[in-house]
Amino acid sequence: KAGVTQTPRYLIKTRGQQVTLSCSPISGHRSVSWYQQTPGQGLQFLFEYFSETQRNKGNFPGRFSGRQFSNSRSEMNVSTLELGDSALYLCASSLAFGRRNTGELFFGEGSRLTVL
Amino acid sequence: AQKITQTQPGMFVQEKEAVTLDCTYDTSDQSYGLFWYKQPSSGEMIFLIYQGSYDEQNATEGRYSLNFQKARKSANLVISASQLGDSAMYFCAMREGANQAGTALIFGKGTTLSVSS
């Protein structure tokens, strides 16, 4: 069973540019979320999607946006990149939304973004 | 105020020893879930163990157990018989609220575990 796949794994951008990151959840998983990990701030929640709808959003500026497609794949976009956006962006997926389960979330290996 | 507090930036242990990684949490919700994840240098987050707030027994998964003390708002991870491959960053995380199947977690700052031979 394939895990959560994130592309690209590494990328370098310059300030002011925009970037799109992709996440393919485990087959059958419909809930996807995104996290930003930096040495200073640690792991911070960005957004959560289920059935193409954003269900939850973290405390990030409007430059950070995302979407989910009908096949549950998700993309996140960061516009007008700043140096502080350099981070590891992690995607997680889980089986269900809205009912209790064991709570296991599966993470991808992340996309490491460097902004110069 | 921090919702998840991991007070040990780094821990050092020898192979085959047991180690406890501390985690305290803060929430006013009655329904919540607590997680531990391991992050090796490769970056991937690996799920270790989960404890629901209404679970009466402490969760166990192989060599991992979660020492859940609800009144103290504590969810410490115990790793028995440490192995060299356990060297990694360990994160405690919480999911608040009635949606106990969502993917929005609050993470602690992490504890780096180093296991030596």
Q: Report the range of poorest mean pLDDT among A15-19, A20-24, A55-59.
A: A55-59
Q: Which of B66, B79, B80 is nearest to B23 (CA)?
A: B66
Contact between residue B39 and residue B46 where contact means Cβ atoms under 8 Å apart: yes
B26-79: per-residue pLDDT in tens?
A: 998 888 889 999 999 988 899 999 998 888 899 999 999 999 999 999 999 999
The residue among B95 and B73 whose pLDDT is bigger is B73
Closest chain A residue to B99, measured at CA: A98
How far is B108 from B104, CA to CA, in rounded Å? 13
A88 interaction partners in chain B (CB closer than 8 Å): 43
Inter-chain touch B42–A109, beta carbons under 8 Å: yes
Of the given ranges (A34-38, A61-65, A86-90, A106-110), which has the lowest mean pLDDT? A106-110
Residues of A in contact with B89 (CB under 8 A): none
pLDDT band of B100, cuts 50, 70, 90: low
- Which span out of A44-53, B53-62, B64-73, B92-101 was modeled with the highest average pLDDT? B64-73
Query: Residue A54's beta-bridge partner residues?
Result: A49
Residue A96 has a pLDDT of 66
Nearest-neighbour CA in chain B from A102: distance (Å)? 7
At residue B88, the 3 state secondary structure works out as strand
Contact check, Cβ <8 Å, A32/B103: yes
Contacts of A5 (CB under 8 A, 6+ apart): A23, A24, A108
CA-nearest residue to A39 within chain B is: B109
Q: Return the ∠ at Cα A27 (arms to A62 and B35), rounded to 5°.
A: 65
Do B65 and B76 contact (CB within 8 A), yes or no?
no
B85: left (phi over 0), alpha (psi -120 to 50) or beta: alpha
Please work out, in degrees rounded to the nearest 5, the angle formed at the alpha carbon of residue B9 by the alpha carbons of B6 and B11: 105
User: How far apart, in whole angstroms, are the C-alpha atoms of residue B28 and residue B42?
Assistant: 35
pLDDT at residue number B103: 73
In angstroms, the CA A9 to CA B8 distance is 30
Confidence grade of residue B1 (pLDDT, cut at 50, 70, 90): low
pLDDT in tens, A87-114: 999 999 987 655 555 567 889 999 999 9
